[in-house]
Amino acid sequence: MDKNKQLFQQSQLIIPGGVNSPVRAFGSVGGTPIFFKRAKGSRLWDENDKEYIDYINSWGPMILGHAHPEVIKVVQEVAESSLSFGAPTERELIMAETIVRLVPSIEQVRLVSSGTEATMSAIRVARGYTSRDKIVKFEGCYHGHADALLVKAGSGALTFGQPSSAGVPHDVAKDTLTLPYNNTQALKDLFDRLGDEIACVIIEPVVGNMNLIVPEQEFLETLRQLCTHHGAVLIFDEVMTGFRVALGGAQELFNVLPDMTTLGKVIGGGLPVGAFGGKKEIMSQLAPLGPVYQAGTLSGNPVAVAAGLKTLELIQQENFHVQLADMTNKLVTGLTQIAREQGKEFTARNVGGMFGLYFSATAPNSFDEVMASDRESFNKFFHLMLEQGIYFGPSAFEAGFVSAAHTEHDIQQTLNAAQVAFEAL
């Protein structure tokens, strides 16, 4: 019997939906989720011992590839000292110093245990700092599953056709204002009406949770200007883009600096870590210095911080991000060329080591354009590639990721599989 099916059937009896995060259930693409048991470099092996080239990379953290020997070594060494102290460690300080040095806008930073915790805390600090309640987000952007942010959200919420969540009180959601991404005029109109009531604007500076959406430069620059003029805190959610699209994140790439930044994924090297940081005057609102409370028993966990520090050390090597972007570009260029040769309506693009696949004539720039893409064709393509051992994200609404472990051979094997898949569509 297929062990994946067996495990999924058993899981559904005691885990809601059989999974611990919704997109893993294959609900959008259909079929049985893959249960993995090991990984190395660019490759995964499932419970049936089938091998796959991985383009999810744990949704971004595995920028070096799976089970990088130097990361594994440091994790083993630190784990021997203790798995947790619940008290300060020198590594936390070194991690904070590294983040402040690498991310252009961050003056002070606090470590937490997840991206959701980082964004939730950043918004609380922004509200405390401004003494305002209203927050602004953008359609299809996902910032974790805090109540106030599950309004027209991306990622799993979008995959399952529920951009908002049950269980979120109206009184919590009423202060969340939602705008279309890349719509500069809508941004201006909102600030003209309510600018002085807005505590903060939170945005994915490159969207990865409704597939890959690239911001227009004017849009980001206008957002920065409006927040400055009206005294609103601009938060870049770089949980996904931080250290992946460039060493200094999307803010370095587009040369637009936020007031606060949230981080995760890469800074944990595959273990649970998040962080939020920004201007010193804003971060000083946090307890024990200020009136905004935030705490976490496992914040700055020594094993997770060690994995993240080693990852950050290795990605600072010369030309690391240039080579990562080049390999990712070869993938998206090759896929687009194959589709074009076969007359298929398809395109792909990348920003650094992130990429998007779209069954549409042009790459989308907004939530509405993403929703207009041919999701049925994506679902068929996904399964045709999966059968050939190519593991893309199981949703038309998720970005993909290439790691430094991916080789020319991996890319060519993927393109060969795509040739077969496009012909079969």
Question: What pLDDT does 165 receive?
Answer: 65
Tokens for 242?
Answer: 């931080």
Provide the b/e sequence for 370-401 (b: ≥16 CB within 10 Å). Answer: bbebbbebbbbbbbbbbebbbbbbbbbbbbbb
The answer to whether 356 and 329 are in contact (CB under 8 A) is no
Catalytic residues: 142, 237, 265
Cα gap 412→331, rounded to integer Å: 8
Residue 85's CB: how many other CB atoms inside 10 A? 13
Distance CA 25, CA 40 (A): 23
- Closest by CA to 238, choosing from 144, 171, 164, is 144
Nearest to 394 by CA among 17, 2, 12, 25: 25
**Angstrom distance (rounded) from CA 201 to CA 224:** 10
pLDDT for 161: 40
- Boundaries of CATH 3.90.1150.10 in the chain? 3-63+318-424
Measured between its terminal Cα atoms, the distance across the chain in Å is: 28
DSSP secondary structure letters along 193-228: HHGGGEEEEEE-SSB-SSS-BPPPHHHHHHHHHHHH
Q: What is the CATH number of domain 3-63+318-424?
A: 3.90.1150.10
Average pLDDT per block of 10 residues along the chain, 425 residues long: 90 92 87 95 97 97 98 98 94 97 97 95 97 93 80 49 63 84 95 95 95 97 98 98 97 98 97 97 97 93 97 98 98 98 96 97 93 95 98 94 98 98 96
Three-state secondary-structure class, residue 157 = helix
Q: Which pairing describes strands 260-264 and 347-351: parallel, antiparallel, or unpaired?
A: unpaired
Residues forming CATH 3.40.640.10 domain(s) in the chain: 69-314
β-pairing, 354-358 vs 400-401, is antiparallel
**Could you give the 3-state DSSP secondary structure of residue 275?**
strand
- pTM of structure: 0.94
State the pLDDT at residue 149: 77
CATH class of 69-314: alpha beta
Residues in contact with 33: Cβ distance below 8 Å, sequence separation at least 6, in sequence order: 4, 8, 18, 19, 24, 25, 26, 394
Position 151 scores a pLDDT of 67
* Structure-derived torsion over alpha carbons of residues 227, 213, 413, 381, reported in degrees to the nearest 10: 150
